[in-house]
């Protein structure tokens, strides 16, 4: 299983200062319009981001805020890790979602759902990846970007769906009065891993312990919202980049709607119907296209 975590590009190195990262993100997100990019750039260059390592500070990244104040981002930005630029763009998507929501909703409707939140963040990553792919001639850089996109889709659509199926199965066991034990949970997870990864991936005896350590399982079906969020974000990114003012207005309208509607309605207004299979089909077709590009370069 650990081999599935290895990057295909071993010697890829970059160095971007924080200011250069903000500039790159601002240029990549230009299709979202001047208001979006100027607001985000001002926030990232201002005091929206706690970006330095510090004693007692946790790892990872997080965007939060309140109805009355600016959004803020917690992360540790490292100049020699290009993934951190994607992280900054991702969390910036959450922050701008909050920025638009607080300015267009009363207090009781400003806090959007996780279903909608993961669209706003992943959308930004898509625009960043496509911009960098279109502006670099470095084969190693292209390989890195393609590899990252594949890993992101595997981790966000396939793996989170597997997690959700693990939840669904264990919930059904409880409803059928079947006991949940360490052994039964490990068996469910092992069978799902075998089904999703196939015979080419060897499982060790401790591989199925992963199902016991995922904290998201304590918030029922949280994980599935990553899969739906990325599928919707891919479809909306395609729509905005291929469209014009109307498509952009639809997407910004989605950000402005905050928590005022059910997420399926919000996304339908933005131009993607998540009650149908088309957005997921489009996401998997994008995965196939990226895989073809990677194989061609290799």
Q: Give the CATH number of the domain where residue 248 resides.
A: 1.10.1370.30
Q: List pLDDT tens digits, range 74-125.
A: 999 999 999 999 999 999 999 999 999 999 999 999 999 999 999 999 999 9
8 A C-beta contact, residue 259 and residue 105: yes
Residue 167 lies in a domain: no
Q: Which of 44-48, 159-163, 201-205, 272-276 has the lowest mean pLDDT?
A: 201-205
Residue 146, token pair as written in the block: 């393609």
Please report, rounded to a whole number, the percentage of residues in the chain having pLDDT higher than 90.
87
pLDDT attached to residue 8: 82
Least Cα distance to 97 among 115, 82, 84 occurs for: 115
DSSP states along 36-97? HHHHHHHHHHTTSEE-S--TT--SS-EEE--SSS--EEE----TT-THHHHHHHHHHHHHHH
8 A C-beta contact, residue 118 and residue 266: no
For Cα atoms 204, 206, 211, give the angle at the middle one, nearest 5 degrees. 120
Least Cα distance to 237 among 151, 133, 121, 146 occurs for: 121
Residue 164 lies in a domain: no
pLDDT attached to residue 275: 95
Residue 197 lies in a domain: no
pLDDT attached to residue 137: 92
Instruction: Provide φ and ψ at 243, rounded to 5°.
Output: -100, -155
Q: Which of 3-17, 48-62, 204-218, 278-292 has the lowest mean pLDDT?
A: 3-17
Residue 94 lies in a domain: yes
Residue 174 lies in a domain: no
Total of domains in the chain? 1
Residue 194 lies in a domain: no
Q: Which of 16-20, 34-38, 175-179, 202-206 has the lowest mean pLDDT?
A: 202-206
For Cα atoms 166, 119, 52, give the angle at the middle one, nearest 5 degrees. 95
Residue of higher predicted confidence among 170 and 3: 170
Torsion of CA 103, 105, 107, 110, to 10 degrees: -90
From the candidates 23, 53, 79, 91, give the one annotated as an active-site residue: 91
Q: Distance between CA 179 and CA 138 in Å, rounded?
A: 55
Chain CA centroid to CA 82, Å: 16
Q: 234 CB contacts (<8 Å, ≥6 apart)? A: 122, 126, 279, 282, 283, 286
pLDDT attached to residue 260: 96
Q: What is the mean pLDDT of residues 247-263?
A: 96
pLDDT attached to residue 80: 94
8 A C-beta contact, residue 36 and residue 120: no
Residue 181 lies in a domain: no
Q: Distance between CA 58 and CA 67 in Å, rounded?
A: 24
Active-site residue 91, yes or no? yes
Q: List pLDDT tens digits, range 28-84.
A: 999 999 999 999 999 999 999 999 999 999 888 999 988 999 999 999 999 999 999
Residue 255 is part of which domain span? 2-151+224-297
Residue 240 lies in a domain: yes
């Amino acid at each position: 299983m650990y081999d599935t975590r290895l990057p295909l590009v071993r010697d890829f190195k970059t160095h971007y200062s924080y200011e250069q990262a903000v500039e790159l993100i601002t240029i990549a997100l230009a299709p979202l319009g001047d208001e979006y990019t100027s607001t985000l750039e001002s926030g990232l260059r201002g005091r929206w981001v706690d970006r330095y390592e510090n004693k007692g500070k946790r790892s990872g990244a997080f965007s939060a805020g309140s109805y009355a104040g600016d959004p803020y981002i917690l992360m540790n930005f490292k100049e020699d890790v290009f993934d951190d630029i994607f992280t900054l763009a991702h969390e910036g998507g959450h922050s701008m979602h909050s920025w638009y929501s607080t300015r267009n909703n009363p207090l009781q409707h400003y806090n959007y759902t996780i279903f909608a939140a993961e669209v706003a963040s992943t959308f930004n990553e898509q625009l960043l990846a496509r911009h960098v792919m279109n502006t670099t001639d470095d084969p190693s850089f292209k390989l890195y970007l393609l590899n990252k996109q594949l890993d992101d889709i595997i981790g966000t659509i396939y793996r989170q769906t597997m997690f959700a199926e693990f939840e669904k199965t264990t919930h059904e066991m409880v409803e059928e009065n079947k006991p949940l034990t360490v052994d039964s949970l490990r068996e469910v997870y092992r069978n799902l891993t075998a089904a999703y990864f196939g015979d080419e991936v060897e499982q060790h005896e401790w591989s199925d312990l992963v199902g016991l350590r995922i904290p998201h399982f304590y918030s029922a079906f949280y994980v599935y919202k990553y899969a739906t969020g990325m599928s919707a974000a891919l479809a909306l990114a395609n729509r905005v980049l291929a469209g014009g003012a109307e498509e952009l207005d639809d997407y910004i309208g989605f950000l402005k709607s905050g928590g005022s509607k059910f997420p399926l309605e919000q996304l339908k207004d933005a131009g993607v119907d998540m009650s149908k299979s088309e957005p997921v089909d489009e996401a998997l077709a994008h995965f196939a296209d990226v895989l073809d590009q990677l194989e061609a370069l290799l």
